């Protein structure tokens, strides 16, 4: 035999039983940890969703932060409404040369709310004897901010009572028509998605307004104005009945008050 030849022999050593046990235990431990994480995340999601639902219900039932409760039967409220009505009427009917320079009336939010809740209905009935005030509406409120008007109404259909409100930005187009743009809307303090107000509002109003109220022509007109489909007033002019008329030229909401600019004109 020429030379010597060494041959390496490889022997496979089976794993020690304890090693297999340790690996299995590690896998079980990891699965348990993963399961705990999954369960924990699931519980957190459920709890978060529950909290959000409860918060949403709470927000729906809460009045907006700016909301004031007006008591229409309170003598002080009635007196405030009558005083502001008399003041505004006197300014409107003041003797002026026509066409005259513009003139301005400043309306405070508390006075506006007093008038809305005590004098608006008689005025509407005087303008239209067949007008019927919607029984679902029990309260109207406004607040004025810089460039914005907060407008809210309490709706009560006999089963539920909630406050619907919108933040509006008034403006005039180049033809003098008065428009309002809804910047936001709320049910209570819960924001309504923007497309409910300006996009697909017609499909969603039945979810928040009673059917009978939606059938009212005045409601349809106001909803059309809120969604930007039609102006609030295409020709904001009203006759004084003495050969003159007053044209609304500007609405400037400020902190707590509304500055109204008008001009007295002769009827053509």
Domain containing residue 155: 75-266
Check whether residue 50 and residue 101 sit in a common domain: no
Write b or e for each residue in 116-152: b if 16 or more Cβ atoms lie within 10 A of its Cβ, otherwise e.
bbbbeeeeeeeeeeeeeebebbebbbbbbeeebbbbb
Q: How many helices (H) and strands (E) does the chain have?
A: 8, 9
Res 30: pLDDT: 59
Domain boundary among 36, 61, 86: 61
In a domain, 69, yes or no: no
Backbone angles phi, psi at 112, to 5 degrees: -60, -40
Check whether residue 193 and residue 87 sit in a common domain: yes
The total domain count for the chain is 2
Distance CA 101, CA 15 (A): 103
Check whether residue 151 and residue 32 sit in a common domain: no
Cβ pair 117, 77 in contact under 8 A: yes
103 forms beta bridges with 262
190 forms beta bridges with 187
Check whether residue 53 and residue 101 sit in a common domain: no
Beta-sheet pairing, 161-172 with 244-254: unpaired
Check whether residue 114 and residue 239 sit in a common domain: yes
Check whether residue 165 and residue 108 sit in a common domain: yes
Res 3: pLDDT: 47
Side-chain half-sphere exposure of 171, counting CA atoms within 13 A: 9
In a domain, 9, yes or no: no
Check whether residue 33 and residue 137 sit in a common domain: no
Check whether residue 197 and residue 226 sit in a common domain: yes
pLDDT tens across the length of the chain (268 residues):
444 444 445 555 555 555 555 556 666 665 665 555 555 444 444 443 434 444 445 567 788 899 998 999 999 999 999 999 999 999 998 887 766 779 999 999 999 999 999 998 888 888 777 777 777 778 889 999 999 999 988 888 777 788 888 898 999 999 999 998 888 888 888 887 655 555 555 565 666 566 666 667 777 777 778 777 889 899 999 898 888 899 999 999 999 999 999 999 887 6
Among residues 163, 153, 146, the alpha carbon closest in space to that of 256 is found at 146
Distance CA 220, CA 143 (A): 23
Check whether residue 41 and residue 114 sit in a common domain: no
Cβ pair 156, 138 in contact under 8 A: yes
In a domain, 249, yes or no: yes
Cβ pair 196, 206 in contact under 8 A: no
In a domain, 28, yes or no: yes
Check whether residue 94 and residue 227 sit in a common domain: yes
Res 55: pLDDT: 43
Cβ pair 126, 119 in contact under 8 A: no
In a domain, 254, yes or no: yes
Distance CA 246, CA 248 (A): 7
In a domain, 112, yes or no: yes
Check whether residue 184 and residue 247 sit in a common domain: yes
Write b or e for each residue in 41-70: b if 16 or more Cβ atoms lie within 10 A of its Cβ, otherwise e.
eeeeeeeeeeeeeeeeeeebebbbeebeeb
In a domain, 146, yes or no: yes
Domain boundary among 6, 39, 61: 61
- Give the total residue count for the chain: 268
In a domain, 70, yes or no: no
Domain boundary among 26, 61, 96: 61
135 forms beta bridges with none
Check whether residue 125 and residue 246 sit in a common domain: yes
Distance CA 183, CA 195 (A): 11
């Amino acid at each position: 035999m020429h030379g010597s030849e060494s041959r390496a022999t490889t022997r496979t050593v089976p794993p020690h039983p304890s090693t297999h046990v340790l690996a299995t235990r590690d896998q079980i431990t990891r699965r348990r940890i993963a399961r705990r994480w999954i369960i924990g995340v699931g519980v957190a999601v459920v709890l978060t969703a529950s909290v959000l639902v409860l918060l949403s219900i709470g927000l729906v039932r809460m009045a907006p932060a700016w909301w004031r409760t007006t008591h229409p039967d309170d003598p002080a409220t009635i007196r405030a409404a009558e005083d502001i009505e008399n003041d505004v009427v006197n300014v409107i009917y003041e003797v002026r040369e026509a066409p005259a320079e513009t003139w301005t009336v400043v309306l405070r939010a508390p006075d506006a709310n007093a008038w809305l809740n005590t004098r608006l209905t008689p005025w509407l009935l005087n303008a239209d004897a067949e007008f019927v005030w919607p029984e679902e509406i029990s309260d109207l409120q406004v607040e004025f901010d810089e460039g914005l008007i907060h407008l809210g109404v309490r709706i009560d259909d006999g089963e539920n009572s909630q406050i619907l409100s919108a933040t509006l930005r008034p403006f005039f187009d180049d033809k003098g028509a008065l428009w309002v743009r809804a910047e936001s809307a709320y049910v209570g303090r819960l924001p309504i998605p923007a497309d409910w107000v300006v996009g697909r509002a017609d499909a969603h109003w039945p979810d928040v307004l009673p059917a009978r109220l939606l059938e009212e022509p005045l409601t349809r007109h106001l909803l059309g104005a809120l969604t930007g489909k039609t102006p609030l007033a295409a020709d904001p002019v009203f006759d004084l009945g003495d050969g003159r008329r007053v044209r609304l030229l500007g609405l400037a909401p400020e902190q707590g008050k509304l500055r109204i600019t008008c001009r007295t004109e002769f009827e053509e």
